[in-house]
Chains A and B, each alone.
Chain A
Amino acid sequence: MHELAIAQSIFEAVETRATECKAIRVKGVRLKIGEASGIVADSLAFCFEMLTSLDPMLAGAHLLVDAVPHRARCRHCDREFAIANYIAQCPACQEWSTDIVSGTELQILEMEYETA
């Protein structure tokens, strides 16, 4: 949810970094978005494109998303497994005691840019 506000946060973070790097243009931004983060990558890309379209430094910058699966580790038998629909029951031993390993991330990883 709030892909527009998230896109705005990305815009601001990237703009700050790009200025620090003395970039003339930002070519792309790579994000890590977890499956269980609540963010829809397509909507986010659309909002980001909308926000950056008139910015001389960011217009045309691509958003690349590394999607991270929702995974947990069983505390009982130590098996790591994929979570479906937030149901974190270990498929091996049926226990319910688990730790989330991945899937809730919402990160800006790196930026590709051009200098003069």
Chain B
Amino acid sequence: MPKVTIAQNILAVNENIAQDIHQSLTARGIRALNVMSSPGAGKTTLLERTIERLRGQLTIGVIEGDVETSADAERIEAAGAETVQINTRGACHLEAHMIRDALTQIELADIDLLVIENIGNLVCPAAWELGEDARIVVVSTTEGDDKPAKYPQMFAISQVMVVNKLDLLPYVDYDLHKVKRQALAINPNLRIFEVSCRTGEGLDAWCDWLIAFTRGA
């Protein structure tokens, strides 16, 4: 019975589209971030605070991914960034073809940094490249300090981890050292920022990094 070699990556279609997106953004001098977390960790709030603080320094364009509603896109627009909302109507992660389509609705000529806010989900988005230059995983102090060990792939594929809601540390049993230790054990190169979007603590360091990242450092 004849056999034929196929030798094909199953996710090749997504990877190819992601590569096209990356090339096209790089050609325009635009850097891209894929921001992921479980629902409610503070992705949108972090984006709002970032856009407000970096007004005049960076022009940020945002692709908002949610299963339903345009609530997050409205918040980001109010903060002052051009935003496109993707509603997946059921899909639990963004895929490259969705980003490709969304990009046709953004005026790319003005953008320095494209931020893609993924669906709230610590599992599936990890496997789907979107054409980004870096992946950010956001965790928060109200989610338990064992998430890196429980969702290792997400932390393995990210370049940055942001620990949010530092202001709530006095009210929760959250061992910050444990979370960082676990995350670094999986990914020793992970860059970690500890912030409170509410009080502003740690946001200067995060914004400084973002500026350096966008300008190609």
Residues of A near any B CB (own CB < 8 A): 1-2, 6, 9-10, 13-14, 17, 21, 27, 31, 36-38, 85-89, 96-97, 106-115
- With a cutoff of 8 Å between Cβ atoms, the chain A residues found around residue B8 in the complex are 13, 107-108
Q: How many A-B residue pairs have CB under 8 A?
A: 75
Bound Cα distance from A14 to B126, whole angstroms: 26
Which of A9, A14, A88 is close to B13, meaning CB atoms less than 8 Å apart?
A: A9
Task: Pick the residue among A88, A106, A114 that contacts B186 (CB under 8 A).
Answer: A88
Apart from A38-B123, A108-B6, A110-B4, what 13 extra A-B contacts exist at CB < 8 Å?
A: A1-B127, A17-B4, A17-B6, A21-B2, A31-B10, A86-B153, A86-B155, A89-B185, A108-B8, A109-B5, A112-B1, A112-B2, A112-B3
What is the minimal beta-carbon distance from A2 to any residue of chain B, in angstroms? 7
Shortest Cβ gap from B153 to chain A (Å): 6
Neighbouring B residues of A97 by C-beta, 8 Å:
188
Q: Please, which residues of chain A bring their CB within 8 A of the CB of B5? A: 109-110
Residue interface bits B174-202, CB-to-A below 8 A is 1, else 0 = 00000000001110100000000000000
Inside 8 A of A113's CB, which chain B residues have their CB? Answer: 1-4
Give the docked Cα–Cα distance between A14 and B10 (Å). Answer: 11
Q: Count residues of chain B with CB under 8 A from any CB of chain A.
A: 25
The smallest C-beta distance from A41 to any residue of chain B, in angstroms, reads 13
- Are A86 and B10 touching (Cβ within 8 A)? no
Asked if B9 is at the interface of the complex by the 8 Å CB criterion, the answer is yes
Contacts of A86 in B (CB 8 A): 152-153, 155-156, 186
CA distance A108 to B13 in the complex (A): 13
**Chain A residue with minimal CB distance to B123?**
A1
In the complex, the answer to whether A107 meets B1 with C-beta atoms within 8 Å is: no
